[in-house]
Structure 1
Amino acid sequence: MSPTIFVTKNFYIRNSIILTFKIKKSIQYKSTNILHITSIFN
Structure 2
Amino acid sequence: NPNVEILVYPGAGHAFHADYRPSYNQAAADDGWNRCVGWFNKHLKA
TM-score for both structures, normalised by structure 2 = 0.42
Structure with the higher helix share, 1 or 2: 1
TM-score for both structures, normalised by structure 1 = 0.46
Q: Which has the higher contact order (CA 8 A, sep 6+)?
A: 2
